[in-house]
Amino acid sequence: MDDLDVRPLADSEHRRARSLFMRSLHRPDADDQWESVAGRYEPGRVLGAFDEGELAGTTISLASSIAVPGGAVLPSAAVTGVGVRADRTRRGALRSLMRRQLADVRERGEPLAMLHASEAVIYERFGYGVATRSRTVSLDRFRSVLRPEAPTGGRVRMVDAESAAKLLPEIYRRIGLCRTGMISRSDGWWTSWLAALRDNTVAAVHSDDDGVDDGFVLYEAKVNDHRFDDGVITLQVLDLHGAEPAAVAGLWGFLLGLDLSNRIVAINRPVDELLEWWLTDRRQCRVTSVGDDLWLRLVDVPAALSARTYGQADPVVLEVRDAFLPENSGQYRIAPGEVRLCGDRPQLSIGVDALASLYLGDVAVSDLVAAGRVAVHDPSAVAAADRLFATAETPWCGTSF
Ligand SMILES: CC(C)(COP(=O)(O)OP(=O)(O)OC[C@H]1O[C@@H](n2cnc3c(N)ncnc32)[C@H](O)[C@@H]1OP(=O)(O)O)[C@@H](O)C(=O)NCCC(=O)NCCS
């Protein structure tokens, strides 16, 4: 199918693109919300696909960055606002938008693109792969008690919306992209995130023993029984970050101490969060789901592969196949401290989407071999590749966009 006509939208067209996107998600599109999300529509980064002269689909990308193994922080386009008019789907609008967007990302010198997918079957064909996972946990508040050994210290205070708008971005910046997979949050991101919160959303800040703010939580209560006699208040934790385990544990301790609630549900948490280890009864931390979180696209494969670090192991020649951006295809010799294109016979072959899953260290090469996602030409390379790509920590993004 021929690509549709795709072009960057003028500022005056951004509002229409937003409407189209919200409609594609079956969500309301209130005028009073536009002001708070307009900052996400960055000039030049808003694309429209036109079918017979009419806007049929759209996508935007936010200028962001992401921490990769070894601590380097790489520019990364945060792709969002993807929608195609329901009466124009399956005519290639998304494909055309993806083609143009990835070309733009590459031209801007951003080696990576990333997104959260509404459906898991859409983006692999464009070279995206699941790079981080997250979990939802549900705790019975009355039976969840922190152990005395859980790291504590400092104090937690509630802050009003105005203070939260100033403090939370500062604290997030201070925490820094200290973990592989964490991404930067722009001013536009914060404005739209905080504006989307409901009236009953509460912000609380943790400060350490020296009084330095080092963590925050945003939560809201779902109240089903206004007589308070049936224990049906659930607290939903929307965003919780801390610089140190003591800040995170301190915030959990605060949540567990909130009167009149009987359940705490926290979404988008790290799969390796230490919560179970902090509780006297670890079964009270019920993991209700683990799912794909951040999808990554290596847009400039040599630049991305060179930017991360590798474990000690013999070099491996990895063939990368990238049908959507064929300029990335080739044999890469990967060794600690050096990644280069080479003409050697490949020991392993991988699609660029599966490479994205390896890239931040969320899955082992041998697991992808077992899953049939890596082809093995030299079996001795599998263990070496496992050691090269292994990382000490599980990646976590922790930011919706
Ligand atoms: C998802 C969406 C953007 C796809 O747009 P589209 O213009 O229909 O996609 P295209 O016609 O370019 O399809 C490209 C390919 O993806 C496939 N595809 C697209 N959407 C798909 C879906 N939801 N499920 C399965 N396959 C899908 C197409 O079949 C086609 O496959 P092919 O490469 O084998 O030909 C559109 O369906 C939509 O707006 N959905 C609702 C909003 C949404 O989910 N947005 C994404 C937010 S992350």
Does ligand 1 come within 6 angstroms of the Cβ of 24? yes
Q: Which CATH number fits the domain that encloses residue 93?
A: 3.40.630.30
Does ligand 1 come within 6 angstroms of the Cβ of 380? no
Assess whether 139 and 284 both reside in one domain.
yes
Binding-site positions: 82-84, 90-95, 118-119
| Cβ within 8 Å of residue 290, ≥6 positions away | 133, 134, 135, 271
Does ligand 1 come within 6 angstroms of the Cβ of 388? no
- pLDDT at position 74 is 98
- pLDDT at position 222 is 86
Compute CA distances 93 → 62, 81, 100, 142, whole Å: 20, 14, 11, 51
Span from the CA of 266 to the centroid of ligand 1 (angstroms) = 30
Does ligand 1 come within 6 angstroms of the Cβ of 83? yes
Minimum CA distance residue for ligand 1 atom 4: 94
- Confidence check: pLDDT of 226 > 70: no
Does ligand 1 come within 6 angstroms of the Cβ of 111? no
Binding-site positions for acetyl-CoA: 82-84, 90-95, 118-119
Indicate which residues carry an active-site annotation.
Answer: 123, 401
- Confidence check: pLDDT of 15 > 90: yes
Q: Which atom of ligand 1 is nearest to the CA of 123?
A: 16
pLDDT tens, position by position, 96-114:
999 999 999 999 999 999 9
More confident residue, 81 or 233: 81
Domain that holds residue 70: 5-110
| Structural domain count, the chain | 3
Span from the CA of 7 to the centroid of ligand 1 (angstroms) = 19
Residue at a domain's end among 292, 313, 340: 292
Assess whether 177 and 57 both reside in one domain.
no
Percent of the chain with pLDDT over 70: 98
Assess whether 161 and 280 both reside in one domain.
yes
Query: Can you tell me which residue has the tokens 């820094």?
Result: 176
Query: Can you tell me which residue has the tokens 């925490």?
Result: 175
Q: Is residue 121 part of a domain?
A: no
pLDDT tens, position by position, 311-337:
999 999 999 999 999 999 999 999 999
Q: Which atom of ligand 1 is nearest to the CA of 91?
A: 11
Assess whether 138 and 284 both reside in one domain.
yes
Instruction: Please check whether residue 134 is in contact with residue 396, taking contact to mean a CB–CB distance below 8 angstroms.
Output: yes
